[in-house]
Structure 1
Amino acid sequence: MNKIIIKGRPTMGGIAEGAAMVCPDSISGNSGGLGDLNGVVAERGNAAKGQSIKDKILVLPCSKGSTGFSAHCKSAQLMGMGPKGWILTKIDSRLGVAVASLNIPAVSDFEEVDPVEIIKDGDWVKVNGNTGIIEITRK
């Protein structure tokens, strides 16, 4: 199988592999955007509505809404429903808090490519938070 390799900035160390969950418009940090107990995206109009973040590699362009996103993600993680890793086109303080709270591998700040445009839902991705390398294998 051909692998696609892209590189961003190492953001949180470690290595994680899993199916990609691409949210082109991010996930709202407001209450009700993400289920605290089940990790299911509930935001109206979101491409991932009805899908669980459990064991996924979340691929987001940026943050959206309030800083509550980190609390909702952490609650889902504590319930065993959290993601395995992050791929973030650009990181800001809201996503930074979420990355630090979950303490799972993350790569961000891509300069030459936009991972949201390259990675497709369900692609198998390996996130190397130590080197910033992302390996993508098409589903």
Structure 2
Amino acid sequence: MQEFKCHKISEGIVTGEVLISKDDFCFYLVDPKTGVVIEKQHCLYGQCIANKILVFPNGKGSSVVQADGMYQLKMTGMEPKGMIIKNPDTTLVASAIIMEAPLVDKAEAAFYETIKDGDIITLNATEGRITWEGER
């Protein structure tokens, strides 16, 4: 078990499997019925984000597109459990708070060096901690 500091944006505590995106992320380009990424050029194309802790560099898309995408996923239960972002934007921050989705930024550099797809972590956004539970 290893712990990393981060900065709370939207509070909440969740435990789940990590899914890492090297590409910027637009929630509108996820099928709200399945949680599968439908953006063909995206590194997560064909993968499901539902119930995962999504790690990504930036959001992308207009405010309406991002907010609507997150809302549609939440209404169908296909949203990620939590999110860790390197560079948050106002739209993503506001949407996460409204949707009550745990969201953090400013994770320690060691977090990005340690974590890989499929690892299990506890994201304690409320207290600004990420605990690596180990490999799946």
- Short-chain TM bin: 0.7 to 0.9
Matched, 1:100 2:65: no
Shift of 1:104: 2.0
Deviation at 1:25, TM superposition (A): 0.8
Query: CA-to-partner distance for each residue in 1:32-61, whole Å, 9 max, x for gaps?
Result: x21133221111121211111111111111
User: What runs of 5+ residues in structure 2 fail to find an aligned partner?
Assistant: none
How far apart, CA to CA, are the structure 2 residues paired with 1:63 and 1:114?
A: 22
Query: Unpaired segments of 5 or more residues in structure 1?
Result: none
Aligned equivalent of 1:130: 126
Aligned to 1:48: 44
Give the count of matched residue pairs: 134
Contact kept in structure 1, 2:4 and 2:110, CA below 8 Å = no
1:70 maps onto 2:52 in alignment: no
**Does the C-alpha gap of structure 1 residues 121 and 98 become closer, same or farther in structure 2, counting only changes over 3 Å?**
farther
Higher helix share: 2
- Match of 2:70, SS? helix
Structure 1 residue 95 displacement after superposition: 1.6
**Which secondary structure state, in structure 1, belongs to the residue aligned with residue 23 of structure 2?**
coil
- State the Cα distance separating 1:90 from its structure 2 match: 2.2
More strand by share: 2
Report the residue type matching 1:126 in the other structure: T
Instruction: Please give the alpha-carbon distance, in whole angstroms, between the structure 1 residues aligned to 2:74 and 2:31.
Output: 11
The aligned runs of 1:76-95 (5 Å cut-off) are 76-95=73-92
TM-score calculated relative to the size of structure 1: 0.84
Contact 1:87 1:115 (8 Å CA) reproduced: no
Which ranges of 4 or more aligned residues in structure 1 deviate by more than 2 Å?
114-119
CA displacement 1:83-104 (0-9 Å, x = unmatched): 1111112211122123123212
RMSD: 1.9
What does the per-residue CA deviation read over 1:73-122, in whole Å, with 9 as the maximum and x for residues that have no partner?
22111111111111112211122123123212222133x41755542111
Aligned equivalent of 2:55: 59
Q: Percent identity?
A: 30
